[in-house]
Amino acid sequence: MSEVLFEVVDGVAVVTLNRPEARNALNRAVYQGLADAWARIAGDIEIRCAVVTGAGGVFCAGLDLKAWLAKEDMNVKGTPFGPGAAVLDKPVIAAVEGYALAGGFELMSVADIVVASEKARFGLTEVKRGLVAAGGGVMIFPRHAPFRIVNEMVLTGEHMDAETLYRHGVINKITAEGGALEGALAYARTIAANGPLAVAACKRLMRESAEWPTAELFQRQQPIISPVFNSEDAREGARAFAEKRAPQWKGR
């Protein structure tokens, strides 16, 4: 049985953590499966968007502490988060049912959009085990959430509910229990219908421009947006609008 399942439907890759007996906890096999999935997503021009979720009604309970105590090597390059992470220009959507805890919460946090069940529970629980959220929970997550909400999660290690995180902008949409994946796929289908070069450029600009000096913003965006405006897809988008039809993107 594969610890990480991978399928592509209509330009959307669905990546499923598949250790339900261990609440999809992260061991080396899962890290390697995620790295392999991210490489496939990056290298396949037919894939426009990705959804990451968990099997068995749980997203991910975090690091497999039994595997860690057994000194299983977790240092896999090219995973979605942590040291040596692979950054995708293609959008990633997290579909969360059940628990997204510790490393599972950090995996969720690298997604561009998060859809969660109303019953989902979230936490950076490492301090309860004498550990640190070293996969980005104490460094990257604070860039995307209110300061005191981050402090509460990191320092107490307590769980938070979906409604609380939705109010603070950490979650985009709440669904009924069991509906998170379909909610995520709805977002993914909408994104996959857009121009892939434009989507990739927008994601890259939003990620990189946060560190640019204000006076250089428009200058620095030019090398990223010029290939988009000069692409076949840009002309196709304009033609499709004029002809009142759906565009046929080529990714060039």
- State if pTM tops 0.85: yes
Coil vs helix vs strand at 120 = coil
SS3 134: coil
H/E stretch holding 53 reads: strand 49-54
Which ranges of the chain would DSSP assign to H, the alpha helix? Answer: 28-43, 65-69, 103-109, 147-156, 162-167, 180-192, 196-208, 217-229, 232-243
Catalytic residue check, 106: yes
| Higher per-residue confidence, 144 vs 169 | 169
Question: Does 102 score more than 90 pLDDT?
Answer: yes
Q: What is the pLDDT of residue 75?
A: 87
Sequence-distant (≥ 6) Cβ neighbours of residue 87 within 8 angstroms: 207
Query: Average pLDDT for residues 53-70, to the nearest whole number?
Result: 94
Which DSSP category does 65 fall into? H
Cα(201)–Cα(215) distance, rounded to whole angstroms?
A: 20
pLDDT tens digits for range 13-34: 999 999 999 999 999 999 999 9
Q: In which band, very low, low, confident or very high, does the pLDDT at 158 lie, cut at 50, 70 and 90?
A: very high
**Three-state SS across 164-223?**
HHHHCCCCCEEECCCCHHHHHHHHHHHHHCCCHHHHHHHHHHHHHHHHCCHHHHHHHHHH
Show the tokens assigned to 50: 């990705």
pLDDT of residue 106: 96
Instruction: Tell how far CA 71 is from the center of its chain.
Output: 27
| pLDDT number for residue 1 | 67
What whole-number percentage of the chain has pLDDT above 70?
A: 100
Choice among 3, 72, 126, 158 that is catalytic: 126
Distance CA 136, CA 147 (A): 15
- Give the CA-trace dihedral at 24, 25, 30, 34, to 10 degrees: 70
Structure tokens at 135: 């996969």
Residue tagged active-site, from 46, 72, 97, 106: 106
In which band, very low, low, confident or very high, does the pLDDT at 3 lie, cut at 50, 70 and 90? very high
User: What pLDDT, on a 0 to 100 scale, did the predictor assign at position 240?
Assistant: 93
The percentage of residues in the chain with a pLDDT greater than 90, rounded to a whole number, is 89
Question: Residue 95 forms beta bridges with which residues?
Answer: 115
